[in-house]
Structure 1
Amino acid sequence: MADPDDAPRPVLSDPRLAIVVRSDDPARTAGRLQPVVDALAEAAAEAVVVVFDDDDPEALVGQVEGTDGVLVWADPLTGRGPRSALDSVLETIAGTGVWVSADPRVIDKIGTKDVLVTTRHLSWGSDTHRYPTLRDLRQEFPARLAASGTRVVKADRGNGGSGVWKVSLLHEGDGCGTAAGSAEVMVQHARQRDDTHVLTTLDEFMAGCAPVFVAWGGSGHLVDQPYAPRIAEGLVRCYLVQGTVVGFALQDPPATSPVATDKGTPRPAVLGVPSPKTMVAPDHPDFSALRRRLEDEWVPALRDGLDVSPEELPLLWDVDLIRGTPTESDPDPFVLCEINASSVIPFPPEAPAALATAARQRLHSIVRGVGTRPPRSGARSAGRDVGP
């Protein structure tokens, strides 16, 4: 009798994937994803772009019917609000046996600002805290602001700088280790792509955060971290396909001159870093040490700490880092700013081919594991007529 282990493995010869897009400009997003479609075609994988309709979310189930995998580019927030409805439908689709990347449950772990808190013990971490409620913010934030002088407050979900504020205490605390509610603060919103800021009181700032806590069905919240002064030097964005670095981007802020405000307060440098990205190849020698730290230290520790398997990592994601203060033990440190796993655009030229290869490998591993491919029904996918 033949050994079952010697039986031929099933082969997925013609994988089909749907690329789901949700953004304020889906046609533009789809156009920017054409290199991904082309790379999948080169890898003998058919891909079709499907635009998610917030007015009819359940339609997505039919639009991706007959596909083996769904790749998602969806901003956390658009003019239509959060992506809650999309995430619910994606979970339904994943339950039918279709591979979804990135799975909403994985995004909840690594693609929200909560990752700043859950990985603060790593060498990229900082004194970061989570505020589940407005009451927690009022009770805990004043003391931390008094201790730091400046902190960056972030909504748990957002994109394009939405829900991110730099808060600076203009005068010392009250001598009791905290800042009074009437204390004057300078607030700069990262969404403003310049050095615009407002002067207000700490109480007024915290009261203005109230809408964050009612977002996402009441699960919205804030995190904060100390201000990293070397943000003035820009960000280093590290692109990964699952656990492998596929490139970097340097995002340098434009030069800004310190200009005194009417109260003599230095005007802050641009917080949103609104500058073009300079793409850098993954094997550039200047980034070899950073690449090793990502692949060998930070990403494995991230997976272990958050219980995410290598296969569950997003197909394409990025890690934004700010240069930290050098020490004797770490002469070139970095501080985690955020992780983007929802809609990574733009990306390095090396990314599409690596993504296509990883997608095929993942689909083949699924087939080998279960012995069959996900069921298909219907002569064709409804999504083939829904592209932008």
Structure 2
Amino acid sequence: MEGKTPEEIAEALKGLPADQLSKLKEACVIKATACPGPVDCSPLTVVAKDYKGLLEQPKEPKFKGALCQIFVRSQPYGGSDKSSNGHRYDSIPMANGMINSGMSCQLIHYTHEEHDTFFKVCKNFDFIIVRCNPGQIKADGGDQQKFDDGMRELRKGGIQVWPSPDVMEKMGAKDALCKVATMNIGLEDTLAYYSPEEFSVGFKKTMAFQPRVIKQNRGSSGEGIWIIKLKEENYCKEYGERSCEDSEKLLLMEANDNHEEEHTVGEFIEFCVNGRTDKSGEWTSKGVGKYLEGGKDAGGQLVDQRFCPRIVAGELRYNLIGDSLIGVIHKKPKEGGISAVGGTGSIYTFYGPEEPLFKSLTENFLKKDLPHVMPSLDLASEPLPLWWTTDFINASPPGTAPEEEKWIVGEFNCSCVGISRCLAAYCKDDTPNACWDDISEEDKAEAKKMGDLMGEKALAILSK
């Protein structure tokens, strides 16, 4: 019955029980709508309804690739990053960028029930672009570690994975700030704690010296990032001159929503280590603490960094494709706040990559430090991510000349960074049917430029 539609097949098989006909029809639809391309993806369940906007795959691709996504079946629209057809809202320009460079790029979805089949199919590709938002595999009932291990095996087999699990883990870990501490973009008094004992001793010493920022490793959107000051402001003049007592009062602000709390040093340490207990007092934070839970191997860590007062004037987000800067966003917190996380009333201003205001930082970062970033993070064998960001905080005293300002890294992020030009294509309650057609022609053109540059970078790396 090859070539027949599901309806024609069903008509030809009249007499079968209705449930069997339904399953047969569904199976035929799945076979018929697997993403076209040089690699047979028909063994995988097809989640997408269509491939609107995707270019035709080259007949003789220079390299064969796939863009992997995850549809969270228990969540509205498949997650907060999906178009109405089931793809990520920005998958099309990324895949098309690969195609425009002469490579193929098929759109596929990972379902944990088909784990072995999925990775068997993936072995037929030369590269995989992973676009699964952190937490979505678990939310769909899968095992993130199992997925990551599968990607690691592909990487060992010579298949390029962007970004690989090791790159996501090491660039996203807060102790990455310690590993770049001696660069132009780092602060030498940046410390990492992996045990309660290290944290208690180290934090009491740094807190007695000057205001601090304490960052947990596993949070997102500012949860578990605390800006902390001594209530009495009785800081010592030299680092190590004294350590705080458990009874000293702290003023804390959490970066996820800029809410303020007051606790003793002892209560804060207890909350960070053991969460909400009788010893930690009453907390209004949305988080649960326990930032060191599981130890280093499980991602339990805290980073302790000097607080830079000029954070109130905002931070800079550098958007990069490989080693190319494509734009800068200045994110200014709402008046009275410190965090510029989205949804807190912060103001965003957009600049081009050649903005003279940030010339000194751009040159220090791109020309001096960037070649050393991956080796310093124990990722010397990995290329830079295709699409990633670096956030910077101004660490200079007020009044410093722009060309002499010191900006330090606050965070690296390569875990499914979105293309904001495509936001009109993602579904939410007021736009439940959002799709590729809802993106303006201007934004499509800008997204295409980004995708094409990603394709150029990917082709150059694979060609080596």
* 1:79-94 matches, cutoff 5 A: 80=138, 83-94=144-155
Higher strand share: 1
The one-letter code sitting in structure 1 at the alignment partner of 2:360 is A
Q: Give the counterpart letter for 1:93 in structure 2.
A: L
CA RMSD, aligned part only?
3.1
The aligned counterpart of 1:246 is 326
Alignment pair present for 1:345 and 2:418? yes
The answer as to whether partners of 1:183 and 1:202 remain within 8 angstroms in 2 is: yes
* One-letter amino acid of the structure 2 residue matched with residue 295 of structure 1: L
| Partner deviation per Cα, 1:53-111 (whole Å, 9 max, x = no partner) | 46765554145342221112344455948943332221022123211112222334333
Deviations along 1:159-197, one digit per CA (max 9) or x if unpaired, are: 3223312222212459871222122212222222xx312
Residues 246, 310 of structure 1: CA spacing in aligned structure 2 closer, same or farther, 3 A cutoff? Answer: farther
Q: Give 1:17's aligned residue.
A: 65
Q: Cα–Cα, structure 1 residues 65 and 307, in superposed 2: closer, same or farther, change >3 Å?
A: closer
Query: What letter corresponds to residue 462 of structure 2 in structure 1?
Result: L
Secondary structure of 2:367's aligned partner: helix
Deviation by residue 1:95-128 (Cα, 9 ceiling, x = unmatched)? 2321111222233433321111011111221221
Report if the CA contact (8 A) 1:119-1:302 is conserved.
yes
What is the CA distance between 1:351 and its match in structure 2?
Answer: 2.8
Q: Which amino acid aligns with 1:336?
A: V
> Does 1:321 find its partner at 2:395?
no
Matched to 1:48, the amino acid is Q
Q: Please state if 1:298 is matched with 2:361.
A: no
CA shift in 2, pair 1:123/1:14, >3 Å: closer
Q: Deviations over 1:189-243 (max 9, x none)?
A: 2222xx3122222222212222222247644111110111111111111122222
Q: Contact 1:242/1:310 (CA < 8 Å) preserved in 2?
A: no
52 and 231 in structure 1: CA distance in 2 versus 1, 3 angstrom threshold = farther
Against the structure 1 CA distance between its residues 353 and 130, is the aligned structure 2 distance closer, same or farther, given a 3 Å change threshold?
same
Q: 1:128 to 1:76 in 2, by over 3 A?
A: farther
Equivalent residue, structure 2, for 1:134: 196
Pick closer, same or farther for the CA change 1:286–1:174 going to 2, 3 Å. Answer: closer
- Structure with greater contact order relative to length (CA < 8 Å, sep ≥ 6): 1
Q: Which letter maps to 1:214?
A: E
> What is the alpha-carbon distance in structure 1 between the residues aligned to residue 361 and residue 227 of structure 2?
27
Query: Normalization by structure 2: what TM-score?
Result: 0.65
Aligned residue type for 1:166? I
Q: Tell me the residue number matched to 1:212.
A: 291
| 2:265 aligned residue (199, 202, 219) | 202
Q: Structure 1's 217 and 284: CA in aligned 2 closer, same or farther, altered over 3 A?
A: closer
1:233 aligns with 2:288: no
Separation in 1, partners of 2:111, 2:219: 20
Residue type of the alignment partner of 2:248:
A
| Aligned-partner Cα distance in 1 for 2:215–2:103 | 39
Secondary structure of the 2:222 match is coil
Compare 210-219 and 139-148 and name the one that shifted more. 210-219
- Counterpart CA distance in 2 for 1:79 and 1:209 is 27
1:190 to 233, 255, 266: 255
**Unaligned residue ranges in structure 1 (runs of 5+):** 1-11, 257-268, 366-388
Q: Is the 8 A contact 1:319 1:339 kept in 2?
A: yes
Separation (CA, whole Å) in 2 of partners of 1:255 and 1:294:
29
C-alpha separation in 2, matches of 1:99 and 1:206 = 42
Q: Secondary structure at the match of 1:38?
A: helix
1:283 counterpart = 2:393: no
Q: Counterpart of 2:451 in 1: which secondary structure? A: helix
Corresponding position: 1:107 with 2:178: no
For 1:35-184, list aligned pairs within 5 A: 35-53=93-111, 58=116, 60-62=118-120, 64-77=122-135, 80=138, 83-126=144-187, 127-148=189-210, 150-172=211-233, 177-184=242-249
Aligned mate of 2:453, from 346, 354, 366: 354
2:360, 2:402 within 8 Å by CA — same for their partners in 1?
no
Contact 1:235 1:252 in 2 (8 A): yes
Equivalent-residue separation in structure 2 for 1:136 and 1:125 (angstroms): 22
| Cα distance in 1 for residues equivalent to 2:208 and 2:363 | 37
